[in-house]
Structure 1
């Protein structure tokens, strides 16, 4: 990038003449007038041009170019607008005709309005989370609270299933361990679709419910917990399972299910002999479908074992998702007497209409977006600080 373009960029963000450059931003916004942010954005422009002109780009170069392109595109629009405004200023100095001066002023106002719009667009682009196509294995496990915890585990599991359908994701029930009262001790599902890895990971942790159980005669509020774990779902390429390493057994399904129960061998049990891992699936009527789901679950569990063996850090992260399921460990509280859902993480807040929230539609979607934007903002700030530190940049004079 030429020196004149860099100087133009610096003057662009240091002019302080436009409202969006000097205002106080909300929690999930970026202060464009901050010298650190200015320096970071300036070097993004330089980096983008260097990568574009590089004779041979590596895969990492291509990835990085794709990553910063949206931000650079907005920055270049801003530079072009600022350049046009400067040209109008020069023309205004030379022009003596009052009618022409009036037209120049009107045109400048149009440019300034567009400049503010681009500032807003830059804000959104900087903190917009990067979503990917992929899948997860979501596990719901009843924690403290006995039968009440199991009943809420069922409701939470149903909420995730409804949310997957609302988002038009592919969802397959992998396993359900039911309790005597209609709850679940543990249940899992495979979810696949755009944004699934990022959005569903938000649900990992301990969920606390406060309500009066149906069996409570004294009207006392009980507190129970449910743990949610969200594990990456591998592809066939990531985990290859040889036919000689598995024992596949079929049996008749048990439990509620209609006339097909105990009449067809639809339930599937797979044993992975090298590791001793056992998975089962009997939720569907089709043996073929159950086998596919069981194999996918086996791949996920095998990947988890590989991750645990190769990286203690990732293994610790998974354990941290669900903690010990104690009542004082929570990411979210569902308070039925007060009809509210309280998200305890930064960027969350309180949502009223608990019944509507448990339907798994728009309220849960909006909460995910808010939390993901907050996470992205934190990551961006860390990236900027790390960038400045790495290049030993003196931000006071940048």
Structure 2
């Protein structure tokens, strides 16, 4: 970055800092928690930039003094000291420039995607190729994630579950909530997860390959996605999951179809039809939001900065090889030789590698 452009950006940051410092204390901003948090985060980053800018100007003033002595003073000892001081100042200026540039760059890259990282998430698991074995693997991955949620201090609720033919699940949808960073961590899990192992039903000991799909969506509020109720077809039916005699007596399960987009959502985990409707609406809202976001990206031809979090469900992202006790992420060509630990929820190491690659792009 050229010096003039760099100074211009510092001046712009300083101006924005003082503007935000005035607006952030206004009652209408304080009462809006979402807007307040966004502005506060930006304020704190800008505060660091302004502090560095002040330090930078002080060093420039000292550099001018050293240059004046070197140019005008006849004392050899004093000129030598000024020369040493100038070298130190130039090193300090270079360090401040680099730190300021990094902060300015990170601030300018606070896009919709990075702010989404702090959202809660909807996680959808579905069996793919492999029949009953795929349903069993959905259950295994569900256990892996719930153990990871526990380690992370997050809470989850089952929104919808459809049992497999013998055991496991054909489909299960979770509502995952935490203090922050839920979607920012889980978004890397979207895609096809493949398993290679000997099924319990295999008498000849042959390794079979099955696959499931994982979709992770950011949770959104009703103010962000406005759904017209006249565009929704609502159907009710009897629940087929756990719940005793109740599930066979009342039509508490809800199926919602968003007619313009043809997106369908089911929820049957609650005894109350009203509660199932609320949960289904939340999932529907997240799916519509995700669809619209993907359309915008295509329309303006923006390629994501990394392939590691595209969320494309057709992309094979990971293989779980049981005979070799190995889990491999194909996006970053990273293998971990502790499949048992991974399946017990120790997946943060892999997520951290994915984060590193994404931020590096």
TM-score band, normalised by shorter chain: 0.5 to 0.7
Instruction: Tell me what 2:313 maps to.
Output: 322
Deviates more, 1:213-222 or 1:275-284: 275-284
Alpha-carbon contact 1:71-1:122 (below 8 Å) kept: no
Instruction: Tell me what 2:34 maps to.
Output: none
Decide which of 26, 47, 50 is 2:9's aligned counterpart. 47
What is the alpha-carbon distance in structure 1 between the residues aligned to residue 132 and residue 351 of structure 2? 29
SS at match of 2:320: strand
SS at match of 2:347: helix
Deviates more, 1:119-128 or 1:67-76: 119-128
Q: Give 1:359 deviation, angstroms.
A: 2.2
| RMSD over aligned Cα atoms | 5.0
Alpha-carbon contact 1:44-1:68 (below 8 Å) kept: no
Indicate yes or no: 2:333 matched with 1:340: no
Q: Give 1:158 deviation, angstroms.
A: 2.8
Alpha-carbon contact 1:174-1:189 (below 8 Å) kept: yes
Offset from partner CA, 1:323-358 (integer Å, 9 cap, x none): 2xxxxx522211111112122223x62223212211
Alpha-carbon contact 2:13-2:50 (below 8 Å) kept: no
Structure 2: runs of 5 or more not aligned: 24-38, 70-76, 79-87
Q: Give 1:212 deviation, angstroms.
A: 0.9
Offset from partner CA, 1:190-247 (integer Å, 9 cap, x none): 3344112322111112212111111111111112222222233321112233555556
Alpha-carbon contact 2:125-2:212 (below 8 Å) kept: yes
What is the alpha-carbon distance in structure 1 between the residues aligned to residue 186 and residue 47 of structure 2? 25
Offset from partner CA, 1:249-291 (integer Å, 9 cap, x none): 5554223334543355543334556666543211234444323
Instruction: Tell me what 1:225 maps to.
Output: 211
Decide which of 206, 210, 215 is 2:192's aligned counterpart. 206
Instruction: Tell me what 1:236 maps to.
Output: 222
In the superposition, the TM-score normalised over structure 2's length comes to 0.66
Alpha-carbon contact 2:17-2:47 (below 8 Å) kept: no
What is the alpha-carbon distance in structure 1 between the residues aligned to residue 174 and residue 285 of structure 2? 14
What is the alpha-carbon distance in structure 2 between the residues aligned to residue 368 and residue 121 of structure 1? 28
Offset from partner CA, 1:108-140 (integer Å, 9 cap, x none): 9xxx9xx99xx9999999889956431333222
In the superposition, the TM-score normalised over structure 1's length comes to 0.61
Instruction: Tell me what 2:153 maps to.
Output: 168
Offset from partner CA, 1:161-203 (integer Å, 9 cap, x none): 3323332334332222221121222222233441123221111
Alpha-carbon contact 2:241-2:268 (below 8 Å) kept: no
Indicate yes or no: 2:349 matched with 1:371: no
SS at match of 2:316: coil
Aligned residue runs from structure 1 range 1-398, under 5 A: 39=1, 46-53=8-15, 69=46, 72=49, 132-193=117-178, 194-243=180-229, 246=232, 248=234, 250-258=236-244, 260-263=246-249, 265-272=251-258, 277-307=263-293, 312=298, 321-323=312-314, 330-346=316-332, 349-360=334-345, 363-378=346-361
Deviates more, 1:231-240 or 1:296-305: 296-305
Instruction: Tell me what 1:382 maps to.
Output: none
* Structure with more contact order per residue of length (Cα contacts < 8 Å, sep ≥ 6): 1
Q: Give 1:376 deviation, angstroms.
A: 0.7
Structure 1: runs of 5 or more not aligned: 1-38, 95-107, 324-328, 379-398
